[in-house]
């Protein structure tokens, strides 16, 4: 009996430790998955996208939609490479004025990146009830940002309809999205 009490206590402590969180993906539905490749033949990571409700591809960035993007790496990638790629894509997608509106949040997230090795996971989640985006590395939270505008901008790297990181990957991630926003509302 004492053994069971100790195990429950340890499990309870794990749940309340800062930085250690169960992934919200467990309660979400998979929208799609795909691979990111460098020079077409080097697989960098497997990606999967989850949402809290059926959603049309054109609505995925809506602040009412909770979502998680899970990236599992096949190669080592340095912190500076994450920042460079993110900034390159964001500058293709948004004006300087649009990016300056979320500059503080971008810096906070970019400062939290760490180098990854093969098998590591990054999970980027947006919680619509708290307007909060979190970045976790191997299920350990690195940063939390409270801004629906930031979430829309940052998830656009992968999910934006204009100039995403990889259009083929975007389409695979949204493969199981409903066909249109009218369909997700039950309108025909």
Residue 83 has a pLDDT of: 97
C-alpha 175/C-alpha 180 separation (Å) is 12
The alpha carbon of 57 is separated from its chain's Cα centroid by a whole number of angstroms, namely 15
Q: Quick: pLDDT tens for 108-166.
A: 999 999 999 999 999 999 999 999 999 999 999 999 999 999 999 999 999 999 999 99
**pLDDT per position as a tens digit, 62-87:** 999 999 999 999 999 999 999 999 99
Q: Domain 26-184 belongs to what architecture? A: 3-Layer(bba) Sandwich (3.50)
Helix (H) or strand (E) holding 41: none
């Amino acid at each position: 009996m004492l053994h069971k009490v100790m195990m429950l206590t340890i499990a309870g402590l794990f749940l309340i430790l800062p930085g250690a969180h169960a992934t919200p993906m467990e309660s979400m539905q998979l929208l799609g998955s795909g691979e990111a490749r460098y020079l077409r033949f080097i697989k960098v990571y497997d990606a999967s996208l989850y949402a809290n409700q059926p959603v049309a591809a054109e609505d995925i960035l809506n602040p009412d939609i909770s979502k998680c993007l899970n990236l599992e790496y096949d190669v080592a990638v340095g912190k500076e490479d994450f920042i460079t790629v993110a900034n390159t894509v964001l500058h293709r997608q948004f004006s300087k004025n649009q990016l300056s509106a979320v500059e503080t949040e971008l810096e906070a997230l970019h400062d939290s990146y760490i180098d990854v090795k093969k098998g590591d996971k990054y999970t980027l989640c947006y919680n619509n009830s708290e307007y909060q985006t979190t970045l976790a590395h191997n299920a350990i939270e690195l940063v939390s940002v409270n801004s629906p505008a930031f979430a829309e901008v940052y998830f656009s790297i992968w999910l934006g309809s204009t100039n995403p990181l990889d259009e083929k990957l975007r389409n695979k991630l949204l493969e199981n999205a409903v066909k249109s926003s009218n369909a997700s509302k039950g309108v025909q």
